[in-house]
Chains A and B, each alone.
Chain A
Amino acid sequence: MNMKPMDLQELEKRFQEKIDKEIKIEPNDWMPDEYRKTLIRQISQHAHSEIVGMLPEGNWITRAPNLRRKAVLLAKVQDEAGHGLYLYSSVETLGADREATIDDLHSGKAKYSSIFNYPAVTWADIGTIGWLVDGAAIMNQVALCRCSYGPYARGMVKICKEESFHQRQGFESLVTLCNGTPTQKAMAQDAMNRFWWPSLMMFGPSDDESPNSAQSMKWKIKRFSNDELRQSFVDATVPQAEILGLTIPDPNLKWNEETGHYDFSPINWDEFWQVVKGNGPCNKERIEARTKAKEEGMWVREAAMAYAEKRALKKTA
């Protein structure tokens, strides 16, 4: 549709007024192309993260140490697949195609949370992923429950409830390890050492390095900056680590009376950007696994379509 510049300006003005008044934007409402694009990028990245995130945890389902833990892990990974489904549906309300966004993931065009490019090598990693990774995700997601885009905000409410359960089960699993034998405690500490910094990186680049942030804040897609969320996460997590008796691998971590927050060491952003670029320990494996699942599942999807068509024909005949 061709629009006169005046019309466009007026539409944008009204759009921003709605946002300022905290009125949710719904799928059929007018929205700026950039708003739509930003949301498609962000929600599909989020969906991909849920699906790729199934892999490091899924790899421990067959080796869970007892049947209760196996059942809990199965339920958790199943929740994540469910989150992926809601999120892909949210993306579709913006006019994007689920399969096309998945192809972007496989081609490397679309990103997902870099944390899932780190390997889950011990059982303690599973508890630690629940505690730290889901804990960090919740910090982001609670804020997203108030996102200006209605379908995303509403999906996030349900997702947050489940994520907070995941975070607690992860913590509970670590409580068991930390109250167990010295071997178990050491396993938990080792997982903490590997996952602490990548968890802090989950909030994304520092505010001064985050080009999309200002516009997203204005549109109320984002409510808090990356650094604010990261700080909240550190502040919430340090006391939990103390309860577990685990040492956070940062010699400069200390409470700052003046700011009322914990100070911590600078983040190794070189590592962050290397992993984003595809040089993390598991980037290749994760994308290969997803691509293989899609390729090997092609005949199944074709069969389902063919069968549905045959049935539709029979009905009309």
Chain B
Amino acid sequence: MKNEALYNYVLRLGDDSLILGQRLGEWCGHGPILEEDIAMTNISLDLIGQAMSLLDYVGEIEGQGKDHDALAFLRFENEYRNALLLEQPNGDFANTMMRQFLFDAFRKPLYEKLLESTDQQIAAIAEKSLKETKYHLKHSSEWIIRLGDGTDESHQRAQTALDLLWRYTDELFFETADDVSLVASGIVPSMNEIKTQWSKTVQSVLEEATLVIPTNNWQFEGGRRGIHSEHLGFLLADLQYMQRAYPNMKW
């Protein structure tokens, strides 16, 4: 492939959106209040929309005529490049919001930097997605603060979620040797910059929420290399069901 580094980079962006969008869709009809049912389906819809644009671009870079559906539905498990954080099960509402917050706090500065990308397609997708992501971050931050500083029970649940999910945060900033060339040509930002921004947001929101970053800082990785948790297989079984059961049909 002519531009494998770019292909891999955009694929990671697309898969992050796709897998989290899919997870949030599971909440539909089961949210803790009607307003949150609407919010979570709305965020899911934004993420699926982002995945469509990003995966279309992945197909274009690859140059074999694949569209977003061919990529979203017809890859094997080890070909997905989403971070492990995003395939983690929804758990309770605190867990879902914590996963969302840790991701939104990463996505916002990333899209802000990708706005300046020398790759016009990436810059255009970032522009549209940033508007959405700002809302997502506002929504998830507010909930983290509300839950952390709400009742004893909500505080406990939010802290448990943070303890559980913290282990998957480093992987968001994974950078391959190939990425260095993309950074050098101004297509993508260095992850160091993004991590600095992320840490600032995370620290300030968690502090207001009276939540504590776990002292055990053991970090998992693997998703970016296609080595996933047991959860992804089940998620893909749902996602891919129709395309696998009824191959080669238009819907």
Binding site for B on A (CB under 8 A): 51, 54-55, 58-59, 61-71, 74-75, 77-78, 81-82, 84-85, 88, 123, 173, 176-177, 180-181, 183-184, 289, 292-293, 296-304, 306-307, 310
Interface pair A176/B153, CB less than 8 Å apart: no
Q: Which of B41, B48, B241, B246 has the most CB of A within 10 A?
A: B41
Closest to B48 in A: A71
Q: Which residues of B contact A82 (CB under 8 A)?
A: 38
**A58 vs B32: C-alpha distance when bound (angstroms):** 15
Cβ of A69 and Cβ of B146 under 8 Å apart? no
Stretch at the interface among B5-13, B67-75, B104-112, B166-174: B67-75
Residue of chain A at shortest CB distance from B52: A67
> Of all chain A residues, which has the CB nearest B22?
A62
Q: Which residues of A contact B41 (CB under 8 A)?
A: 61, 74, 77-78, 81
| Across-interface contacts of A303 in B (CB, < 8 A) | 146-147, 150-151, 153-154
A49 to B92, CA, bound (A): 26
The interface residues of chain B lying within 8 Å CB-to-CB of A298 are 32
Q: Mark B89-120, 1 if CB is under 8 A from A, else 0.
A: 00011000000000000000000000000000
Question: Per-residue CB proximity of B48-82 to A under 8 Å, as 1/0?
Answer: 11011001000000000000110011000000000
Shortest distance from the beta carbon of B251 to any chain A beta carbon, whole Å: 4
Interface SS of chain B: helix, strand, loop or mixed? helix
Residues of chain B touching chain A, judged by Cβ–Cβ distance below 8 Å, are 18, 22, 25-26, 28-38, 41-42, 44-45, 48-49, 51-52, 55, 68-69, 72-73, 92-93, 145-147, 149-151, 153-154, 157, 238-239, 241-243, 246, 249-251
* Shortest Cβ gap from B59 to chain A (Å): 12
Contact of A293 among B22, B30, B242, B249 (CB under 8 A): B30
Q: List 7 A-B contacts (CB under 8 A).
A: A54-B28, A61-B41, A63-B242, A67-B72, A75-B45, A180-B251, A302-B151
Q: B48 is contacted by which of A51, A74, A180 (Cβ under 8 Å)? A: A74
Contacts of B243 in A (CB 8 A): 65-66
Knowing A180-B249, A297-B93 touch, does A289 contact B238 (C-beta < 8 A)? no
Between A and B, how many residue pairs show CB distances below 8 Å? Answer: 138
CB atoms of B93 and A61 under 8 A apart: no
Contact A62 B153 (CB under 8 A): no
| Interface contact A65-B32, CB-CB below 8 Å | no
State the CA gap A64–B42 with chains docked (Å). 16
- Given A67-B69, A299-B153, A123-B238 contact (CB < 8 Å): no
Q: Measured between alpha carbons, how far is A27 from B101 in the docked complex, in Å?
A: 41
Known: A81-B38, A296-B92. A289 touches B251 (CB 8 A): no
| Cα–Cα, bound, A227→B109 (Å) | 59
Specify which chain B residues have a CB less than 8 angstroms from the CB of A54 in the assembled complex: 28-29, 37
Which residues of B are found within 8 Å of A66, using beta-carbon distances?
69, 72-73, 243, 251
Q: Determine which of A55, A69, A74 lies in contact with B45 in the assembled complex, contact meaning CB atoms within 8 Å.
A: A74
Whole-angstrom distance between the alpha carbons of A181 and B249 in the complex?
7
Most chain B CB neighbours (cut-off 10 Å) among A66, A68, A123: A66
Bound-complex Cα distance A283 to B47 (A): 33
B151 near A78 with CB under 8 A, answer no
Chain B: minimal CB distance from A153 (Å): 22
- Closest Cβ of chain B to A102, distance in Å, is 9
A59 and B30 CA atoms in complex are apart in Å by 11
Do B93 and A300 touch across chains, with their CB atoms under 8 A apart? yes
Q: Is the CB of A183 within 8 A of B147?
A: no
Whether B51 lies near A302 (C-beta < 8 A) is no
Q: Within 8 Å CB of A67, what residues of B?
A: 18, 48, 51-52, 55, 68-69, 72
Question: Measured between C-beta atoms, what is the minimum distance from B74 to chain A in Å?
Answer: 11
Q: Which residues of A contact B52 (CB under 8 A)?
A: 67-68, 71
Shortest CB-to-CB span from B242 to chain A, Å, is: 4
